[in-house]
Chains A and B, each alone.
Chain A
Amino acid sequence: MTSYNNGMLELVNVERTFKVGRKIVRVLDDISFSIGKGDILCLVGESGCGKTTTGKIVAGLLPPTGGEIRFLGKNVWTMNKEEFRHYRRAVQIIHQDPYSSLNPTQRVSTILTAPLLRHGIARNHKEAKEKALELLRVVDLTPPEDFYNKYPHQLSGGQRQRVSVARALTVNPEFLVADEAVSMLDVSIRVSLLQMLERLRRQMGVAYLFITHDLAVAKYFAWEGRIAVMYLGRIVEIGPTPQIINNPRHPYTKALLSAIPEADPQATRSKERVHLRSLDVPSLLNVPSGCSFHPRCPLYEAGLCDAQVPQLVDVGDGVQVACHVVAREMGVA
């Protein structure tokens, strides 16, 4: 979609390969999207589809092997030092596991004041402490004095994840990559963390790349944003969240949505299922020809789907789909 062309952060035809033994595995293929200030883009898909690799590329932790990642219009990997430092500061990442992402030998005070001092955001220790206490308040760890001197092991999973968020916020980021940031938390505290992230977006205009395998969480968090569904390293469908959830077009999206059990006995037991032709997920070492979903797809047409890789095409309502059959039926092939 053209309206996102002037986004703060853009991926343009990004490709990423890894060497596995003597073979080369293409983990990401032709990924393009753009995210503007205060936007949310949710990446969903099953394990191995490339969600986390995309997140790492967006956060600048991994260079792409093809294509470009642009921040404020400039290619991140050809920036000068000054620009790169600005980008690194503006884009922060929150990891999945709050038990391993915090240094167990450091107190919350050190975890939060170190980056403040290192980046010159606070001029001295007194100022750093004030700022750190304020950040603890922002992430709802109140009263902040109770948490300031604690070690990570003295905190619950939810509290640790809040400290991770506070640490990401120390450098005033404009963009957060949240990689399964609530997946390890218990349901009763998950929602409050999502609400806090949403508040940061509303109040501070923080944009999100929100990575999750849970479509219900994606729906809840990204209702005003977009969802991109990934399969074997490609985006197969992308569009506004209500469209993807309530009117999915791609057979893979449909299969996913129909397969998810819901916490509502009536709804979940009467749901219509999409039946796939095969349950096996192909290996990335041996990606099927043409559309990589074709061996499992209920709409499969020999000679079409196994011959050509489908490109994302506009099908209306701001949705783009990469499927030959859907495109033909919508008259946009």
Chain B
Amino acid sequence: MKSATDYVSSDGQFTLKVEDLWVTYLAERGKVKAVRGVSFTLRQGETLAFIGESGCGKTTLGLALIRLLPNTARVEKGRILYRRDAQVTDVLQMNDHELRQFRWKECAMIFQGAQNAFNPVLRIWAQVLDTARSHGVTNKKQIRQRMEELFRLVQLEPERVLKAYPHQLSGGMRQRVLIALGLLLHPPLVILDEPTTALDILTQRSVIDVLRDIKEKMDFSLILISHDLSLAAELADRVATMYAGKLVEVANVWDTYYHPLHPYTVGLIHAVPTLAGEREELISIPGSPPDLIDPPSGCAFHPRCPYATEKCRVEEPPLISVTPDHQVACWHWQQIQEDHGQRMMAYAEASAG
């Protein structure tokens, strides 16, 4: 298994570099600021997981990366730099033709619940052919060969599955067909949005194992979007924690789970029960996520944070590098490093009464 630290020095080799991205939705009550100044680098070959709760902007961010936002959304600002070999292009500047080339060939996205989006009256093979043809690959034999190879990688019997109709496959099998289909044209970048949500435990396990396996065998960069902290713990090299449309912490997976420096990450990690050993005490983060039409001033987390001071209410903390592989957006990260987030825990327990 590749460890996260292998990537520390390879920052120069990025697949994707997002700079100061802002996305808003037009709503009746005003502009919903769903993504607010997000910047990050996806290093070549790594798995970067975006975690956060519903409404934090993680799916909007994913859609913005391949420009599939709905009509009501607008990219206000920012750059999405995609690098292949020595060439760097801004996804936001691509014309329709370039965008068509980019999608699927360069970047495949597998959406939440997409395993239910197959055409029910066409066999899988017909749907594979459709996909390949619309992206300019017409050699049937070549497609067949590639698909068989990919199906074996995702633990499906090519013969049986290609001939099947979608309803003849289980949810987990359809999800694996999709993963294979996503990899059809060797994209260097894959985005998965909640790939295991709504799957049963044993099916979920088979999808996770397949993802880990293909990640080891093939060379691509992966963005994983999930509310499920355990999925990120399984698969991610690095984890980006989102809150109210912003990245509040970006760190390698070990630091995120064992030495988080943002009070929100601390709260999130301690809100999830684990299976091993005795029953542990868990906490809930007091309060609720903010309204993104009118987010709180300064640090958006300050109304729920026991470390908050006057500065937090007024000034927005930038995402700063604490170590080369650990970034955090909090004025008081040093305090959290010192007390291991104890004040956050005590505060949550006290307000639980």
Q: Which of A256-300 contact B (CB under 8 A)?
A: 256-257, 259-269, 273, 276, 279-281
Q: Given A216-B272, A220-B279, is A261 in contact with B233 using a C-beta cutoff of 8 Å?
A: yes
Q: Which of A129-144 contact B (CB under 8 A)?
A: 140
Find chain A residues with CB under 8 A from B269 CB.
263
- Is A187 part of the binding interface, using a Cβ–Cβ cutoff of 8 Å? yes
Decide: A279 and B202 in contact? CB cutoff 8 A. Answer: yes
Q: Which single member of B203, B228, B284 contacts A189 (CB below 8 Å)?
A: B284
Q: Given A263-B257, A269-B1, is A188 in contact with B275 using a C-beta cutoff of 8 Å?
A: no
- Is A191 part of the binding interface, using a Cβ–Cβ cutoff of 8 Å? yes
- Is B39 part of the binding interface, using a Cβ–Cβ cutoff of 8 Å? no
- Is A66 part of the binding interface, using a Cβ–Cβ cutoff of 8 Å? no
Shortest C-beta distance, B2 to chain A (Å), equals 12
Docked pose: A220 CA to B283 CA in angstroms: 12
Decide: A263 and B284 in contact? CB cutoff 8 A. Answer: no
- Is B285 part of the binding interface, using a Cβ–Cβ cutoff of 8 Å? yes
Decide: A191 and B284 in contact? CB cutoff 8 A. Answer: yes
Decide: A262 and B276 in contact? CB cutoff 8 A. Answer: yes
Decide: B230 and A187 in contact? CB cutoff 8 A. Answer: no
Q: Which of A152-203 contact B (CB under 8 A)?
A: 156, 158, 186-192, 195
Q: Which single member of B206, B271, B275 contacts A187 (CB below 8 Å)?
A: B271
Shortest C-beta distance, A69 to chain B (Å), equals 27
Q: Which of B62-100 contact A (CB under 8 A)?
A: none
28 of the cross-chain contacts (CB-CB < 8 Å) are A46-B201, A46-B202, A186-B227, A188-B267, A189-B284, A191-B282, A191-B283, A192-B352, A213-B200, A213-B201, A215-B201, A215-B275, A216-B274, A242-B279, A256-B202, A257-B275, A259-B201, A261-B205, A261-B233, A262-B275, A263-B257, A264-B230, A264-B233, A265-B253, A268-B234, A276-B202, A279-B202, A281-B202
Find chain A residues with CB under 8 A from B204 CB.
259, 261
Q: Which of B127-179 contact A (CB under 8 A)?
A: 170, 172
- Is A17 part of the binding interface, using a Cβ–Cβ cutoff of 8 Å? no
- Is B30 part of the binding interface, using a Cβ–Cβ cutoff of 8 Å? no
Q: Given A46-B202, A213-B201, is A260 in contact with B230 using a C-beta cutoff of 8 Å?
A: yes
Q: Which of B249-269 contact A (CB under 8 A)?
A: 253-254, 257, 267-269
- Is A246 part of the binding interface, using a Cβ–Cβ cutoff of 8 Å? yes
Find chain A residues with CB under 8 A from B227 CB.
186-187
Q: Given A186-B54, A259-B201, A259-B205, is A219 in contact with B284 using a C-beta cutoff of 8 Å?
A: no
Shortest C-beta distance, A38 to chain B (Å), equals 18
Q: Which single member of B273, B288, B353 contacts A219 (CB below 8 Å)?
A: B273
- Is B277 part of the binding interface, using a Cβ–Cβ cutoff of 8 Å? yes
Shortest C-beta distance, A134 to chain B (Å), equals 16
Knowing that A188-B284, A256-B201 are A-B contacts, what are 20 other residue pairs whose CB atoms are under 8 Å apart, sorted by A's residue number?
A188-B268, A190-B271, A215-B275, A216-B272, A219-B279, A223-B279, A245-B275, A256-B202, A259-B204, A261-B208, A261-B230, A261-B233, A262-B230, A262-B275, A263-B269, A263-B274, A265-B234, A265-B253, A268-B233, A269-B233
- Is A47 part of the binding interface, using a Cβ–Cβ cutoff of 8 Å? yes
Q: Given A262-B275, A262-B276, A265-B233, is A156 in contact with B254 using a C-beta cutoff of 8 Å?
A: no
Find chain B residues with CB under 8 A from A265 CB.
233-234, 253-254, 257
- Is B319 part of the binding interface, using a Cβ–Cβ cutoff of 8 Å? no
A192 to B, closest residue via Cβ: B284
- Is A325 part of the binding interface, using a Cβ–Cβ cutoff of 8 Å? no
With most chain A CB atoms within 10 A of its CB, the pick from B227, B269, B352 is B352
Decide: B257 and A187 in contact? CB cutoff 8 A. Answer: no
- Is B194 part of the binding interface, using a Cβ–Cβ cutoff of 8 Å? no
Q: Given A158-B288, A189-B284, A260-B201, is A217 in contact with B53 using a C-beta cutoff of 8 Å?
A: no
Decide: A267 and B274 in contact? CB cutoff 8 A. Answer: yes
Find chain B residues with CB under 8 A from A223 CB.
279
Decide: A261 and B283 in contact? CB cutoff 8 A. Answer: no
Docked pose: A195 CA to B282 CA in angstroms: 9
Find chain A residues with CB under 8 A from B275 CB.
215-216, 219, 245, 257, 260, 262
With most chain A CB atoms within 10 A of its CB, the pick from B1, B274, B353 is B274
Shortest C-beta distance, A103 to chain B (Å), equals 23
Docked pose: A220 CA to B277 CA in angstroms: 11
Find chain A residues with CB under 8 A from B253 CB.
265
Shortest C-beta distance, A155 to chain B (Å), equals 10
B349 to A, closest residue via Cβ: A195
Q: Is the interface of A mostly helix, strand, loop or mixed?
A: helix
Decide: A195 and B229 in contact? CB cutoff 8 A. Answer: no
Shortest C-beta distance, B156 to chain A (Å), equals 11
Decide: A263 and B272 in contact? CB cutoff 8 A. Answer: yes
Docked pose: A131 CA to B283 CA in angstroms: 29
- Is B231 part of the binding interface, using a Cβ–Cβ cutoff of 8 Å? yes
A265 to B, closest residue via Cβ: B233
With most chain A CB atoms within 10 A of its CB, the pick from B205, B253, B285 is B205
Q: Which of B187-208 contact A (CB under 8 A)?
A: 200-206, 208
Shortest C-beta distance, A254 to chain B (Å), equals 12
Shortest C-beta distance, A178 to chain B (Å), equals 16
Shortest C-beta distance, B276 to chain A (Å), equals 6
Decide: A156 and B282 in contact? CB cutoff 8 A. Answer: no
- Is A255 part of the binding interface, using a Cβ–Cβ cutoff of 8 Å? yes
Decide: B201 and A195 in contact? CB cutoff 8 A. Answer: no
Docked pose: A77 CA to B237 CA in angstroms: 57
Decide: B234 and A261 in contact? CB cutoff 8 A. Answer: yes
Decide: A191 and B274 in contact? CB cutoff 8 A. Answer: no
Find chain B residues with CB under 8 A from A276 CB.
202
Find chain A residues with CB under 8 A from B53 CB.
186-188
Decide: A262 and B274 in contact? CB cutoff 8 A. Answer: yes
Decide: A281 and B170 in contact? CB cutoff 8 A. Answer: yes
Find chain A residues with CB under 8 A from B284 CB.
188-192, 195
Docked pose: A259 CA to B170 CA in angstroms: 18
